[in-house]
């Protein structure tokens, strides 16, 4: 086999030189539903994932994200709807293509490495069972180990590796067979906090190198924000919101999304007109959806967007609301406050470490109108 000269450069260029072509494929879910008895684990989910995108299914336990992933993989059959990969229907109630015919790789919570095989042997295992020539396997394994920064570990066994290194081996093994689609089910859940943070960036780096269409399941919003092109926030078997990490964080559409992403404050008041909500006797100007007077409206605001003031605001000041400090905690670089409004609502906020206000003190909060987001109930 003649290799392109760029192979000798190693890294992603070397890998591209020996790939068998573009293995990317779009993934489309059409009204995908999976019921167990009368309960819908996945409820009419529709989602389009473009070639080369990394989409995170994010949500709490029981929201349907892992069931959706297993449906895509072909491990279970849908009750209704279709899964289309690269333009072909791979799952429907009438016909489900088996997992081995889908050209997908899946990474589970456990690394599932063969303990008696070296790193190189583990990575090349999928190529071996495809009966590729030994020199082809050697070239592909060498190239993928270079991209994954595992060359120096090629002769070691899994028991001699850290958790993060084992997960990189698992990733390399999944990618070396050039899948159309990569599926990842809570891949970092077995790592400690420091390794999880490191591996988030590693997964994103490898995705940028390979551009494999990827569906990534997690309950950790930091993982989703770091790795994803798009985040699908799931709740009760449905996608509650789909968007970029920035859009999901800055413009949540519902109370559930606002609370789940970034732990927003959500306070409920009564709409006075199209853009004002009365909370604790104060008219707050809001942004977001147009309101109907008299309707109860949840309003979200991030902790870091709230300003704590110790003197009463001047007459006519907008979006100022009185509160009492219930708790404050020194966190080194900042202080975390919990304050109570006159109607019993509570708001958390962060301030600079030097702003030290005693528990029980009366304070005023500034809630910028452009950061008070009126939500759907």
**Distance between CA atoms of residues 12 and 31, nearest Å:** 37
> 19 Cβ partners below 8 Å, 6+ apart?
178
DSSP string, 271-306: E-SSSEEEETTEEEE-EESPP-TT-EEEEEE-GGG-
Which of 18-27, 91-100, 214-223 is least confident? 18-27
Task: Scan for tokens 């809570």, then name that residue.
Answer: 186
Name the residue ranges covered by the structural domains of the chain: 5-250, 263-374
Asked if residues 231 and 58 have their Cβ atoms less than 8 Å apart, the reply is: yes
State which fold the 5-250 domain adopts: Rossmann fold (3.40.50)
CATH number for the domain running over 263-374: 2.40.50.140
Indicate the range of 73-87, 193-207, 243-257, 338-352 predicted with least confidence: 193-207
- Give the mean model confidence (pLDDT) for residues 118-143: 90
**pLDDT at position 321 over 80:** yes
Q: N- to C-terminal Cα distance for the chain? A: 62
Q: Which two tokens stand for residue 175?
A: 């990618």
Q: Taking 60 as the threshold, does the pLDDT of residue 306 lie above it?
A: yes
Q: Do domains 5-250 and 263-374 have the same CATH topology?
A: no
Task: State the pLDDT at residue 23.
Answer: 53
For the whole model, what pTM was predicted? 0.83
For residue 163, give both structure tokens. 């958790």
CA separation for the pair 93, 228 (Å, rounded): 30
> Quick one: which of 159, 161, 168 has its CA closest to 198?
168
Q: What pLDDT, in 10s, does the model give residues 132-178?
A: 899 999 999 999 898 888 999 999 999 999 888 888 899 889 888 88
The DSSP bridge partners found for residue 335 are: 330, 351
């Amino acid at each position: 086999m003649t290799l392109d000269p760029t192979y000798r450069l190693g890294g992603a260029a070397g890998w591209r030189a020996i790939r068998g072509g573009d293995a990317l494929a779009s993934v489309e879910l059409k009204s995908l539903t999976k019921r167990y008895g009368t309960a819908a684990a996945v409820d009419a989910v529709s989602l389009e994932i473009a070639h080369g995108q990394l989409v995170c299914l994010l949500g709490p336990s029981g929201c349907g994200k892992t069931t959706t992933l297993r449906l895509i993989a072909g491990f279970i059959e849908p009750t209704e709807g279709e899964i289309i990969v690269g333009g072909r229907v791979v799952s429907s109630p009438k016909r489900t293509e088996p997992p081995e015919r889908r050209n997908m790789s899946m990474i589970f919570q456990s690394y599932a490495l063969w303990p008696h095989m070296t790193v190189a042997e583990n990575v090349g295992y999928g190529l071996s069972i495809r009966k590729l020539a030994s020199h082809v396997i050697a070239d592909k394994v060498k190239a993928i180990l270079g991209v994954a920064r595992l060359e120096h570990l090629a002769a070691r066994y899994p028991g001699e590796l850290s958790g993060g290194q084992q997960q990189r081996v698992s990733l390399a093994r999944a990618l070396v067979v050039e899948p159309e689609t990569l599926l990842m089910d809570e891949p970092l859940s077995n790592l400690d906090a420091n390794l999880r943070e490191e591996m988030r960036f590693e997964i994103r780096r490898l995705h940028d190198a390979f551009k494999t269409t990827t569906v990534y399941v997690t309950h950790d919003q930091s993982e989703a924000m770091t790795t994803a092109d798009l985040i699908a926030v799931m709740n009760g078997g449905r996608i509650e919101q789909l968007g970029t990490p920035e859009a999901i964080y800055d413009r949540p559409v519902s109370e559930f999304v606002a609370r789940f992403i970034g732990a927003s404050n959500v306070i409920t008041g009564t709409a006075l007109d199209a853009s004002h909500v009365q909370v604790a006797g104060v008219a707050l100007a809001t942004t977001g959806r147009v309101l109907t007077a008299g309707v109860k409206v949840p309003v979200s605001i991030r902790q870091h967007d709230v300003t704590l003031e110790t003197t009463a605001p001047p007459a006519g000041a907008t979006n100022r609301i009185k509160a009492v400090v219930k708790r404050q905690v020194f966190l080194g670089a900042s202080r975390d406050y919990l304050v109570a409004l006159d109607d019993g609502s509570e708001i958390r906020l962060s301030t600079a470490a030097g702003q030290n206000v005693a528990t029980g003190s009366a304070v005023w909060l500034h809630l910028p109108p452009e950061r008070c987001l009126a939500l759907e109930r």
